[in-house]
Amino acid sequence: MTYKTRLILFSFFVVLFFLIIIPLIFYSQGYRFDFQKKEMVKTGGIFLKTSQSLEAEVFLNGKKIKKKITPLFHRVLIQNLIPKTYDVELKKENYHSWIKNLRVEEEMVSEAKNILLVPKNPQKNILFKNIEKFKFSPNEAKIALVINTEDGKKISVLDINSNKEKQIADNFSEISEIKWSPDSQKLLFWADKKWQLVNLKEGSLKITALKNIPSLATNLNWHPQEKEKIIFLSEKTKGSKKLVEFNLENSTITSTLISNLDFYDIEGSEIYWLEENTDLIFKINGQGTKKQLTYSPLSLREKNIKFIFFNDGFGILNKTEIFQENNFYLFDSENNLLKEIHQPVKDAKISGDEKKILLFSEKEIWVYWLDDILIQPYHYKDDKEFITRFSKNIGQAIWYPDGEHILFTIEDDNSIKIKITELDSRDPRNIVDFLEYNSIGNFDFYYNSKYKNLYILAKNSLIQIKFPKE
């Protein structure tokens, strides 16, 4: 072999070496060739995580990839993606697909950590028929049921763990309000124009009709500190109210806690109230220490308010006969005042993590952030975001326990649809139809976060809907 031949071969292998090694080095450091830009670019990734333990296939730009969501590891990381927008889809048979356009940037991972796959035909279990209303206990382990019978109305309690029903009393012509004690062991209910008491710990389940409660008593609740007492508003003079405590053991009013108030509510061991005439907010703690919270009166159209408590703060919903005039206010502890957040508001609900408030009217749903959320998509304290709008009326709305989804109803004269929407506003926002009922009669729904089931009152039946477990 001549020197010239050896030189040519050496040069060829040197060039070949660099042609192979340099791309490998770039490849190992996360570079890929972008054929659209015709240049080497740093790659990024996509991270997906579902809130349920199930199996789902992952599609990227319409093509199924090898990685998938599994019941054991309900997450997937897709790496080495050229920076651009990707159409991402999770698919599972008999479930609504989850779709999202996610932008990948160089050396960044685009995340979607709160994916909820909603079943198309959820498993339904009719627990009871002829139900007029139901109410869960504070520990979510019992349900108080008002049942219509041929002889009138009866009240029963269902123990969810044992699935056993205990009949409390029957032959009532009317049963309206139901009040569980904080320890879920006692039940107060308004039946046939009297407050009735039952202690579920007692084997006999003796019903006691409470005497000496004034006929005009309103806003009755369990005492925040003493288990054998209740509190309620009683008329002091014509048009003036006072908050009194009532001893259940001897059926007597024992003392006046607060005078001259229009409304009150309880949070833990503390009582909050709206003072009569001044429209200022006060609170009193378990030791009897009174504190003035606001110093500027609210301009209330009507003295009908609802407190929304969270962490160390609260908000107020001023309810009026014309809901378009309903305002939601948030307490500013630094300046001791209530600032208006949104109008109109039909109702407001605090999320389970107490970092967000759901605000909805008859046509729209909004969310207000009380704290920074430092996972994608990012949100910051005092952000307020429009979620969705409908031409038909929004009847009810509640939080899904993950705090990242909302269940709500769309109502017309003949039917109710239950829909589920995610908060993630990255295009497209996933909103799916969950259930629909026609000729519904009384309607209500409640998500039990302890047992991960949705309970629906429709067509006079109490129905249990099971979700895939987290």
pLDDT of the residue at 17: 52
**Residue 427 falls within a domain, yes or no?**
no
**Residue 286 falls within a domain, yes or no?**
no
Q: Output 286 or 199, whichever has higher pLDDT.
A: 199
Q: Give dist(CA 390, CA 432) in Å, integer.
A: 13
Q: Is the pTM of this model over 0.85?
A: yes
Here the tokens at position 229 are 């007492």
Edge-to-edge strands, sheet with 252-259: 218-222, 229-237, 240-247, 252-259
Q: Output 2 or 308, whichever has higher pLDDT.
A: 308
Does the pLDDT of residue 253 top 90, yes or no?
A: yes
Q: Give the confidence band of 1 by pLDDT, cuts at 50, 70, 90.
A: low
List, as one string, the DSSP characters of 7-68: HHHHHHHHHHHHHHHHHHHHHHTTEEEETTTTEEEE-EEEEEEESS---EEEEETTEEEEEE
Q: Output 423 or 437, whichever has higher pLDDT.
A: 423
Lowest mean per-residue pLDDT among 8-22, 176-190, 280-294, 299-313: 8-22
**Residue 145 falls within a domain, yes or no?**
no
φ, ψ for residue 216, nearest 5 deg: -95, 15
Q: Give the confidence band of 300 by pLDDT, cuts at 50, 70, 90.
A: confident
Domain-terminating residue out of 89, 115, 141: 115
**Residue 411 falls within a domain, yes or no?**
no
pLDDT of the residue at 143: 97
Q: Give dist(CA 415, CA 174) in Å, integer.
A: 27
**Residue 94 falls within a domain, yes or no?**
yes
51 and 12 housed in the same domain: no
Domain-terminating residue out of 70, 85, 115: 115
Taking residue 280's Cβ as centre, other Cβ atoms within 10 Å add up to 18
Total number of domains constituting the chain: 2
Q: Which amino acid is at 344?
A: P
Contact 294, 331 (CB under 8 A): yes
Q: What is the mean pLDDT of the chain?
A: 89
pLDDT of the residue at 25: 47
Q: Give dist(CA 176, CA 464) in Å, integer.
A: 23
**Residue 26 falls within a domain, yes or no?**
yes
Does the pLDDT of residue 301 top 50, yes or no?
A: yes
28 and 50 housed in the same domain: no
Q: Residue 406 contacts by C-beta under 8 Å, 6 or more apart in sequence?
A: 358, 365, 367, 387, 397, 398, 399, 400, 420, 421, 423
Q: Give dist(CA 354, CA 352) in Å, integer.
A: 5
Nearest one of 322, 314, 371 to 338, comparing CA atoms = 314
pLDDT of the residue at 132: 95
Here the tokens at position 307 are 């407190």
Q: Which amino acid is at 286?
A: G
Domain-terminating residue out of 115, 137, 168: 115
70 and 107 housed in the same domain: yes
pLDDT of the residue at 26: 45
The domain in which residue 12 lies consists of 3-34
Q: For residue range 78-104, what is the model confidence (pLDDT) as tens digits?
A: 998 989 999 999 999 999 999 999 999
9 and 52 housed in the same domain: no
**Residue 108 falls within a domain, yes or no?**
yes
Lowest mean per-residue pLDDT among 20-29, 225-234, 386-395, 439-448: 20-29
Q: Give dist(CA 52, CA 291) in Å, integer.
A: 45
**Residue 7 falls within a domain, yes or no?**
yes
Numbers of helices and strands, H then E, in the chain: 1, 41
Give the DSSP letter of residue 468: P
Q: Give the confidence band of 309 by pLDDT, cuts at 50, 70, 90.
A: very high
